[in-house]
Amino acid sequence: MLLALAGCAATPYQPVNAQGYGYAEQPAADGGYIVVFVANTATSEQRARDFALLRAAELGADLGYGYIKVMNSRSGAVMLAPQRRPTDSSAVPDIQPTRAMSSNMMGSMGRGYGGSNGGGYGSGMTLPSSSPGGDPARAGVVMVRFGAQDTAGTGLQPIAPLLARLRAEYGLAAAGGR
């Protein structure tokens, strides 16, 4: 019975695990970053998107930046492909959008998560139009840029209060003393 209950819990904030759940990031061609958080279906789309944003803010802080700008943010239902599970957070999980996510998520991010040549980006995530099998999941994806300082009209926001707000909202401790 405990195992059944554990399967119903929302995916915790974590690097991507062997099942493909958690956060991962990749540099984007334009100098920004694309961060994804893939979760089980017990996790809300808002939580998945917030966890992707939290990881993006942590990444910016780790890289020495004080400011972040969200260029695009999406969440939705996806299928986590069984054949390409990442083994570390440097590889983005292979996910295929469901019909609902296809129109809502892919529209303004190119054909795929930031990819402009039709298949996604990098070696980690591909978005074929159909794939056999897979596990239902939720994904939040953010495209961000970082800055050292805020200047008028840039739309940058401070990273520190964003980290504090998201960690407090989800009851998470600061990682590495940040």
Q: What is the rounded average pLDDT of the residues 167-172?
A: 96
Whole-number percent of the chain with pLDDT over 90:
50
In a domain? residue 127: yes
Q: Which domain holds residue 24?
A: 12-164
DSSP reduced 3-state for 154: coil
In a domain? residue 170: no
Query: 24-38, 105-119, 128-142: which range is least confident on average?
Result: 105-119
In a domain? residue 173: no
In a domain? residue 7: no
In a domain? residue 6: no
In a domain? residue 178: no
Whole-number percent of the chain with pLDDT over 70:
65
Tens of pLDDT along 11-60? 999 999 888 899 999 999 888 999 999 999 999 999 999 999 999 999 99
- How far CA 14 is from CA of 85, 121, 138, in Å, comes to 15, 22, 15
- Give the total number of structural domains in the chain: 1
In a domain? residue 171: no
Q: In this structure, what token pair is assigned to residue 91?
A: 């590889």
In a domain? residue 176: no
Q: φ, ψ for residue 146 (rounded to 5)?
A: -115, 155
Q: What is the pTM of this model?
A: 0.75
Inter-residue contact 107 to 23 (CB < 8 Å): no
The whole-number pLDDT of residue 96 equals 56
